[in-house]
Structure 1
Amino acid sequence: MNGWLWVIAALLLGGLEMALPGWFFLGIALATGLMGLAILAGLWTAALPWALVVTAVLSGGIWLLLRRIFGSSRGDVRIWTRDINDDE
């Protein structure tokens, strides 16, 4: 496997995220970039199927981490549990 292909794929996914913002491709772009760097550094030597599985798991973890750090967007539905006019 060539790590440069993974890095190029990460850059393309990052560009796609810039064109279609909404956190859809950011997690997979970061995970693909990390996998590419791991392959280039010689830290990953397993076959392609395992690389794809690890990239998918990394993508989900990165997405959850970014969601926790940056929170929900303004477009999300907010459920009100208390009325402003209620006395407490």
Structure 2
Amino acid sequence: MDMMTGDGLWSLWWVWLALALGLGILEILAPGFILLGFAIGAAVVGALLALGGPLGAYLGGSFTLTLVVFAVFSLIGWIGLRRTMGVRKGQVKTWDRDINED
């Protein structure tokens, strides 16, 4: 398979969905929504390639565009996760006294 002619592994939908699944599993080991954001980006790219049509064909033929779409949807997914499940206001613990002061 030659990466420059459009028939590389990166143009196959199931590779992107497998990457999304793997990143989702790794997120369990390293929480923080970073890998989950990348998993969302990979899942969107895999779905776009699986749906086909003109967008899927264009996306599968351009490695650069595929990476840009992956990066954009990963960022959007991470921002969405951070806003919905991230640190909430009032969640920070304020210490009024030191436990060694008695």
Question: How does the TM-score come out when normalised to structure 1?
Answer: 0.76
Give the share of equivalent positions with the same residue, in percent.
36
Structure 1 residue 71, shift from structure 2 partner: 3.2
Aligned residues: 77
Q: Which of 54, 57, 62 in structure 1 is aligned with 2:69?
A: 54
Larger Rg: 2
Structure 2: 5+ residue runs without aligned partners?
A: 1-10, 95-102
- Which residue in the other structure is 1:72 paired with? 87
Structure 1: 5+ residue runs without aligned partners?
A: 81-88
Structure 1 residue 18, shift from structure 2 partner: 1.1
Question: How does the TM-score come out when normalised to structure 2?
Answer: 0.66
Q: Which structure has the highest helix share of the two?
A: 2
Whether 2:49 is the aligned partner of 1:39: answer yes
Q: How big is the alpha-carbon RMSD for the aligned residues of Structure 1 and Structure 2? A: 2.1
Q: Which of 35, 42, 57 in structure 2 is aligned with 1:25?
A: 35
